[in-house]
Amino acid sequence: MKTFVKSKAFRVLLVMVIILLAGIAVAASGRNNASPVTSAVSAVFSPLSRFSAFVSDKLGSLTGGFVSSSSYRQRVAELEQQVADYQSKLVEYEKYKKQVEAYEKFLEIKEKNPDYKFTAGTVIGRDSADTFGSFKLNCGSLDGVSVNDPVISGEYLIGVVSEVTPTTCVVLSVFDPQVNASAYEIRTGEMGYTDTTVKMASQNRIRFAGLTKETAIAEGGIVCTSGVGGVYPRGLIIGTVSEVLAEEGDISYYAIVEPEIDIDKIQDAFVITYFEGKGDA
What is the pLDDT at residue 245?
A: 92
Cβ count within 10 A of residue 232: 28
What is the pLDDT at residue 149?
A: 96
What is the pLDDT at residue 249?
A: 73
Per CATH, the number for 94-274 is: 2.40.10.350
What is the pLDDT at residue 270?
A: 94
Which helix (H) or strand (E) segment holds residue 48: the answer is helix 36-64
What is the pLDDT at residue 85?
A: 79
Residue 231: alpha-carbon gap to chain centroid: 36
What is the pLDDT at residue 36?
A: 53
- Ordered per-residue pLDDT tens for the chain, 281 residues: 556 556 666 676 666 767 666 655 555 555 555 555 555 555 555 665 666 666 566 655 555 555 567 777 888 888 888 888 777 777 776 666 666 666 666 677 778 888 899 999 999 999 888 889 999 999 999 999 999 999 999 899 999 999 999 999 999 999 999 999 999 999 999 999 999 988 888 888 999 999 998 999 999 999 999 999 999 999 999 999 999 999 877 788 999 999 988 988 889 999 999 999 898 76
What is the pLDDT at residue 189?
A: 95
Q: Which DSSP string corresponds to 226-265? A: --TTSSS-TT-EEEEEEEEEEPTTSS-EEEEEE-SS-GGG
What is the pLDDT at residue 253?
A: 93
Which helix (H) or strand (E) segment holds residue 151: the answer is strand 150-153
Q: Where are the domains of the chain?
A: 2-61, 94-274
Name all contacts of 260-264 with Cβ < 8 Å and 24+ positions apart.
Answer: 260/156, 261/153, 261/154, 261/156, 261/158, 262/204, 263/133, 263/135, 263/158, 263/159, 263/173, 263/174, 263/175, 264/126, 264/133
* Ramachandran quadrant class, 242 (left: phi over 0; alpha: psi -120 to 50; beta: rest): alpha
In DSSP terms, 207 is beta-bridged to 195, 256
What is the pLDDT at residue 166?
A: 97
What is the pLDDT at residue 13?
A: 67
Separation between Cα atoms, residue 144 and residue 149, nearest integer Å: 10
What is the pLDDT at residue 144?
A: 96
